[in-house]
A = this chain, B = another copy of it.
Amino acid sequence: MPLNESEYLFSIRLRDTDAAGVLYFSRLLDHAHDAYEALMDDIGQPLQAMLDGAVVHLPLVHAEADYLAPLRLGDRIRVRVRLDKLGRSSFTLAYAFIADSGLEAARAATVHVAIRPDTGEPMALPSDLAQALGNLVRTATGGGDGTLSP
């Protein structure tokens, strides 16, 4: 795994499925967000600390998903998370959902903006967060293959 990516594993559980026998569509985005939270833990920016410290909130302003192949109960999925864009006050993450067969079964993206917890106004990303995300970008310049971007 290149350093510019974080990998997150999960299995499709019964609560992810619906009466059509496959993954209910928005559960994919739940798992994408779980992978985002694990990434933030990994880079020393856990969401809980952010909510407690009340320096910045990072609400989503956009989310999207493409479903390429049906996912079923018991399927084991690797989520590859990649930083797609880094702006002054926002960033975009891209997610690839890889089945055991190696097939990319789904893709997703989430756009997060930094806001002041007290006023809800946009603000610049805190320097430590921007740096942690920027490290991912610099690493990716040398080693990323870009094949996972949605």
Partner of A14, one of B13, B18, B62, B68: B18
The answer to whether residues A47 and B65 also contact, given A18-B19, A20-B57, A59-B22 and a CB cut-off of 8 A, is no
Q: Which of A69-77, A85-93, A95-103, A131-139 contacts B (4 or more CB under 8 A)?
A: A69-77
In the assembly, how many copies of this chain are there? 4
Residues of chain B lying within 8 A (CB to CB) of residue A25: 29, 33, 59-60, 63, 110
Q: Give the number of chain A interface residues (Cβ < 8 Å).
A: 42
Known contacts A19-B48, A47-B73; 8 further A-B pairs (Cβ under 8 A): A14-B18, A14-B24, A15-B26, A19-B21, A25-B63, A26-B26, A46-B74, A48-B72
